[in-house]
Chains A and B, each alone.
Chain A
């Protein structure tokens, strides 16, 4: 009997096979192929989204620990089990994945997009579901790595200029990090004899390894995850990859793939190495603050809209890491209200950044689709020509810079509130990031929307119907979370309490 979680992981894979093997509707080869992939892919997305919603409906928000657990022997020689299950955080990310991927499919497809494009994206989706639900390191690592090859291909085959370099950089950075992480985990396994996340988390409080070995393992896992998030100074692959990837892929990369790294920090590094993090906490926080402050400054200097949003992504994920490290590294016993606030903020930010950043990439994709270029100077005065597009896009921008009433505010506010009590200086410096982000967005809005209508933009169509299909629901969701965020909090409240207890 296949459980619900396994079904969620398998459905996109079946979808990938279906997309590849479905005969083209008509004889005209290339156009028929292109048209054919998307409906099937979306159909499978709807099915998996249905499963995700079923998961949410049946999820007991008050219970601690994993739910919907499926456990089977897999590689007994190394104690690796097929163990999947969801807690609040996993469920949140599964829902986010089910939300973003269909919208990524609806984004303007790359010019040479074919059925293989949709199949590759579906494989990626399956890897994401697997990463967010696996509860055994080997299984988790399987899915974590499984996302690499599709990621590489998506950038390499369907990317824009400079795609070769970007794809290779993306792959090798991440692969290097993963190997370091894998080796570290082998060390931990030999010391403790288990790959089980919850068992390791229990053991982590008393220290998993001794002396230098502990630091080596910590460094390996830290680098592996920091590359994925990415954290300064491991971020250099990101602007290239995000810039080059086609719109849909950029949405998935920023909305979901980066969350793999954050998820890894929450699930692995923090519970497993509490002592190490406490010792070098200030240094980690320094890296985080660098990410938060430098990334928007770099964004300010960009002329390419995608690259600009890519740098801002680093900044937003920096807030997540700020909350996490502040919680884990706070030397004194922090008040539980602060840790709760910080962790809730982090989880909220994970979801919000996923939605908002993906949306921003979507809008840039729309602009690029219309204009053929995406430099900030290639547009001007769009407000006169395409008021709807500008209006909805401003909402996403305001959400991204953290305007109260929109979703971005909730997460950032909670993170700052919680972190300030635990790491006041670092948090105070990090506020600069907020300011610079605001400047970057304001400048972008000014260049794009106001001023005289640029010659080249005079023939732009406003939002089309199928574009509204994406924009309207997501924007409503942004408002909903911004005004009444309780329904999201309910998903992970118990997990936050549990995790705070684990970390204190």
Chain B
């Protein structure tokens, strides 16, 4: 049943091409909502015990000569990712409700990205996974290049080239796995014993190929530029889901197939992850463009995912998966505020310019949303970010105690730059005298009010991060058994 997330999303995309533009956003909304509904149904309905193994749901021969199958499977980890995809997708459509320019095309590309992501998270065939993985890149390029802002061609091109660059290594890795393992089936391959020599070099090729997309330091530079150039919907999807494709595939494919290679390289992954956490946070502290701040914060948060993966224990890896979910929601929320609520109304993202406007008076709802998003992003307890980070840090403490302290310093810097962004964007950076404030303050009426779809989207994301933060057991119960059965732990 969950396989229909893919079909419905792609079906919606095809419908968009044939139906007139009046229907465009409704079709997109319907397609994404049905995807989310299917994910939620599976989440509620599936017994937890069924989610421990990567259980096949569809398996149709595709190119039998090469052993390619159309093979989908589901476990707790992929279900979590499907769920966050659904949530981000619905909110993205809601926040793109008033896109006027080439509407059909916009939603078409958007649905392709979403469908491709569903595909990656559900694929149990290496080749199929790769197809979906590459499929996401093209619509992403068009979304940014056509609908983006500031420096969009550059951003789109950089992002695409990085993705293809990573994809090239992934392709080599897949070929190696296929040739020596003799199969493309992930479940079969994860039983196969690759020779240690092969693992020691095939693992980094595959792993680093994937995590380019997850924004690992020093291959992260596409992320801030891409996020800033993308239209809001694009940034939300990019940070929310597409970055997770890299880390998910790294976990599902690279780590699971080459456990010994992983053991050799895990400490270097941890080193890069920790550098990424601190470095990106420090860079974000100096940014003037709100979207760049959030872009770098994404890199920093993805550093936590990689640190969690590098710990190679159940807690750390489960925390990493939880962080993927959590960051998907939080980043979407942050970009929604920065791109939709602020930028579309003020036509600037420069923090200095925004600090003159005292936006908290003009847009109280946006201010509230941004406060919640900032708190969640800083890792204030009660929001999903904290639940994920604490799980990762406990896991990491077992393997890399030093990394925990450095990452802790990273958390403080994250708090510092988030606070700075919050202050400058909504609460007027400087202590302006009251007379001056009243003179320059934008009153409520000067901006269009926050629309209903925007409110629904924001509330949905806020409730999600709050629910997972207050009761992370919901997801962890499903993630941990699935992680426990993975091979690299043994």
Contact residue among B315, B394, B412 (Cβ-Cβ distance under 8 Å from A179): B412
A183 and B430: CB pair below 8 A? no
Query: Once bound together, how far apart are the Cα atoms of A153 and B473, in whole Å?
Result: 30
Given contacts A75-B387, A149-B375, A163-B431, is CB(A168)–CB(B394) below 8 Å?
no
Does B419 make an interface contact (CB < 8 A)? yes
Residue of B with least CB distance to A120: B371
Q: Most chain-B Cβ atoms within 10 A of its Cβ — which of A138, A153, A182?
A: A182
Query: Once bound together, how far apart are the Cα atoms of A142 and B412, in whole Å?
Result: 16
* A137 CB → nearest B CB, Å: 10
Given contacts A141-B381, A175-B415, A179-B412, is CB(A156)–CB(B423) below 8 Å?
yes
A78 and B375: CB pair below 8 A? no
B371 and A149: CB pair below 8 A? yes
Does B416 make an interface contact (CB < 8 A)? yes
Q: Chain B residues near A182 (CB, 8 Å)?
A: 390, 393, 408
Q: Which of A148-179 contact B (CB under 8 A)?
A: 148-149, 152-153, 156-157, 161-165, 167-168, 171-172, 175-176, 179
* A121 CB → nearest B CB, Å: 15
Chain B 414-451, CB-CB to A under 8 Å as 1, else 0, gives 01100110010001011100100000000000000000
Does B391 make an interface contact (CB < 8 A)? yes
Query: Once bound together, how far apart are the Cα atoms of A176 and B427, in whole Å?
Result: 22
Does B77 make an interface contact (CB < 8 A)? no
Query: Once bound together, how far apart are the Cα atoms of A329 and B117, in whole Å?
Result: 59
Does A186 make an interface contact (CB < 8 A)? yes
A172 and B419: CB pair below 8 A? yes
Query: Once bound together, how far apart are the Cα atoms of A467 and B242, in whole Å?
Result: 58
* B324 CB → nearest A CB, Å: 16
Does A503 make an interface contact (CB < 8 A)? no
Chain B 301-316, CB-CB to A under 8 Å as 1, else 0, gives 0000000000000010
Q: Chain B residues near A161 (CB, 8 Å)?
A: 431
* B79 CB → nearest A CB, Å: 17
Q: Chain B residues near A183 (CB, 8 Å)?
A: 393, 404-405, 408
Does B32 make an interface contact (CB < 8 A)? no
Q: Chain A residues near B30 (CB, 8 Å)?
A: none
Contact residue among A142, A164, A168 (Cβ-Cβ distance under 8 Å from B381): A142
Contact residue among B380, B397, B420 (Cβ-Cβ distance under 8 Å from A149): B380
Q: Which of A127-151 contact B (CB under 8 A)?
A: 138, 141-146, 148-149
A189 and B419: CB pair below 8 A? no
B360 and A138: CB pair below 8 A? no
Contact residue among A153, A164, A172 (Cβ-Cβ distance under 8 Å from B416): A172
How many A residues have CB within 8 A of the partner chain?
Answer: 40
Does A367 make an interface contact (CB < 8 A)? no
Query: Once bound together, how far apart are the Cα atoms of A166 and B17, in whole Å?
Result: 55
Does B411 make an interface contact (CB < 8 A)? yes
B480 and A186: CB pair below 8 A? no
Query: Once bound together, how far apart are the Cα atoms of A352 and B393, in whole Å?
Result: 39
Query: Once bound together, how far apart are the Cα atoms of A162 and B404, in whole Å?
Result: 35
Residue of A with least CB distance to B476: A77
Q: Chain B residues near A149 (CB, 8 Å)?
A: 371, 375, 380
Does A190 make an interface contact (CB < 8 A)? yes
* A75 CB → nearest B CB, Å: 5
Contact residue among B381, B412, B476, B480 (Cβ-Cβ distance under 8 Å from A146): B381
A116 and B364: CB pair below 8 A? yes
Does B471 make an interface contact (CB < 8 A)? yes
A78 and B391: CB pair below 8 A? yes
Residue of A with least CB distance to B420: A168
Does B286 make an interface contact (CB < 8 A)? no
Q: Chain A residues near B393 (CB, 8 Å)?
A: 182-183, 186
Does A22 make an interface contact (CB < 8 A)? no
Chain B 376-419, CB-CB to A under 8 Å as 1, else 0, gives 00101110001100110110011001001100110110011001
* A422 CB → nearest B CB, Å: 35
A77 and B412: CB pair below 8 A? no
Given contacts A142-B381, A189-B394, A190-B398, is CB(A75)–CB(B412) below 8 Å?
no
Given contacts A164-B431, A172-B412, is CB(A75)–CB(B380) below 8 Å?
no
Query: Once bound together, how far apart are the Cα atoms of A168 and B398, in whole Å?
Result: 34
**Interface band, chain B:** 35 or more
B380 and A148: CB pair below 8 A? yes
Q: Which of A46-95 contact B (CB under 8 A)?
A: 73-78
Q: Chain B residues near A157 (CB, 8 Å)?
A: 360, 427
A168 and B364: CB pair below 8 A? no
Given contacts A149-B380, A164-B429, A190-B397, is CB(A77)–CB(B415) below 8 Å?
no
Does B318 make an interface contact (CB < 8 A)? yes
Residue of A with least CB distance to B318: A77
Q: Chain B residues near A141 (CB, 8 Å)?
A: 381
Q: Chain B residues near A153 (CB, 8 Å)?
A: 371
* B114 CB → nearest A CB, Å: 30
* A139 CB → nearest B CB, Å: 9
Chain B 451-490, CB-CB to A under 8 Å as 1, else 0, gives 0000000000000000000011100100010000000000
Q: Chain A residues near B416 (CB, 8 Å)?
A: 172
Q: Chain A residues near B387 (CB, 8 Å)?
A: 75
Query: Once bound together, how far apart are the Cα atoms of A74 and B474, in whole Å?
Result: 10
Does A187 make an interface contact (CB < 8 A)? yes
Query: Once bound together, how far apart are the Cα atoms of A481 and B71, in whole Å?
Result: 75
Does A223 make an interface contact (CB < 8 A)? no
B423 and A164: CB pair below 8 A? yes
Q: Chain A residues near B405 (CB, 8 Å)?
A: 183
A186 and B419: CB pair below 8 A? no
A78 and B412: CB pair below 8 A? no
B473 and A74: CB pair below 8 A? yes
Residue of A with least CB distance to B415: A175
* A477 CB → nearest B CB, Å: 34
Does A180 make an interface contact (CB < 8 A)? yes
B382 and A146: CB pair below 8 A? yes
Residue of B with least CB distance to A167: B423
Q: Chain B residues near A74 (CB, 8 Å)?
A: 471, 473
A145 and B415: CB pair below 8 A? no
Contact residue among B315, B408, B423, B430 (Cβ-Cβ distance under 8 Å from A180): B408
Given contacts A145-B380, A164-B429, A179-B412, is CB(A78)–CB(B315) below 8 Å?
yes
Query: Once bound together, how far apart are the Cα atoms of A161 and B390, in whole Å?
Result: 37
Q: Most chain-A Cβ atoms within 10 A of its Cβ — which of B381, B387, B398, B423?
A: B381
Residue of A with least CB distance to B382: A142
Residue of B with least CB distance to A77: B476
Residue of B with least CB distance to A114: B364
* B304 CB → nearest A CB, Å: 14
* B239 CB → nearest A CB, Å: 22
B397 and A77: CB pair below 8 A? no
Query: Once bound together, how far apart are the Cα atoms of A477 and B276, in whole Å?
Result: 56
Query: Once bound together, how far apart are the Cα atoms of A445 and B404, in whole Å?
Result: 52
Given contacts A78-B391, A179-B411, is CB(A73)–CB(B473) below 8 Å?
yes
Q: Which of A213-247 contact B (CB under 8 A)?
A: none
* A21 CB → nearest B CB, Å: 12
B476 and A186: CB pair below 8 A? no
A171 and B427: CB pair below 8 A? no
Query: Once bound together, how far apart are the Cα atoms of A77 and B390, in whole Å?
Result: 11
Q: Chain B residues near A145 (CB, 8 Å)?
A: 380-382, 386
Q: Chain B residues near A146 (CB, 8 Å)?
A: 380-382
Given contacts A146-B380, A182-B390, A187-B397, is CB(A77)–CB(B404) below 8 Å?
no
Contact residue among A73, A162, A163, A179 (Cβ-Cβ distance under 8 Å from B408): A179
Query: Once bound together, how far apart are the Cα atoms of A138 and B381, in whole Å?
Result: 8
Query: Once bound together, how far apart are the Cα atoms of A189 and B404, in whole Å?
Result: 14
**A164-B431, A172-B412 are known contacts; what are 9 more A-B pairs with Cβ within 8 Å?**
A75-B391, A77-B473, A77-B476, A138-B381, A168-B420, A175-B415, A179-B411, A183-B393, A186-B390
Q: List 7 A-B contacts (CB under 8 A).
A: A75-B472, A77-B391, A148-B380, A152-B419, A164-B427, A179-B409, A186-B397
Which residues of B pack against A, CB within 8 Å? 315, 318, 360, 364, 371, 375, 378, 380-382, 386-387, 390-391, 393-394, 397-398, 401, 404-405, 408-409, 411-412, 415-416, 419-420, 423, 427, 429-431, 434, 471-473, 476, 480
Q: What 10 A-B pairs come out closest when comparing CB atoms?
A: A142-B381, A183-B408, A145-B381, A175-B415, A77-B476, A179-B408, A149-B375, A145-B380, A179-B411, A164-B431
